[in-house]
Amino acid sequence: MIAGACSFTLDAVLSGDKRSVQILIFSQHYQEIADKVAFEVHRGVTVLGGQGWFTKNDSKLLLIMVRKQETNTILQLVREIDNSAFVSVTSVMGVYGKGFEQIKK
């Protein structure tokens, strides 16, 4: 238990404010959510096509990469638009590209 807490604390100190998360949003209101994220939060959004295996219904899901401190803003926005959306938030090791880190040589 103590080793886990030390590891978490060390990671937080080394990563600082550069920690990022990947958010997947499954919602029938994906267009409205994507617009708000892009134009109000100023983050890129990727729309992916999917299919529910049980229902066989086609669906769209949103893939969004943000800094950890922006997570609550995105979640609040989703809740306001679609309270029944399914959302997955995952910590990621590194995000490289515009708005994030550059790949080092």
In a domain, 6, yes or no: no
In a domain, 78, yes or no: yes
Count other C-beta atoms under 10 Å from residue 103's C-beta: 7
pTM confidence score: 0.79
Identify the burial level of 93 via C-beta atoms within 10 angstroms of its C-beta, where 0-12 means exposed, 13-18 middle and 19 or more buried: exposed
In a domain, 85, yes or no: yes
In a domain, 97, yes or no: no
Instruction: Residue 74: give its domain's CATH number.
Output: 3.30.70.120
In a domain, 76, yes or no: yes
In a domain, 3, yes or no: no
Task: pLDDT tens for the chain, 105 residues: list them.
Answer: 566 555 555 455 444 556 899 999 999 999 999 999 999 999 999 999 999 899 999 999 999 999 999 999 999 999 999 999 999 999 998 888 888 888 888
Range of the domain at 84: 17-92
In a domain, 40, yes or no: yes
* Total structural domains within the chain: 1
Element (H, E) at 87: strand 86-92
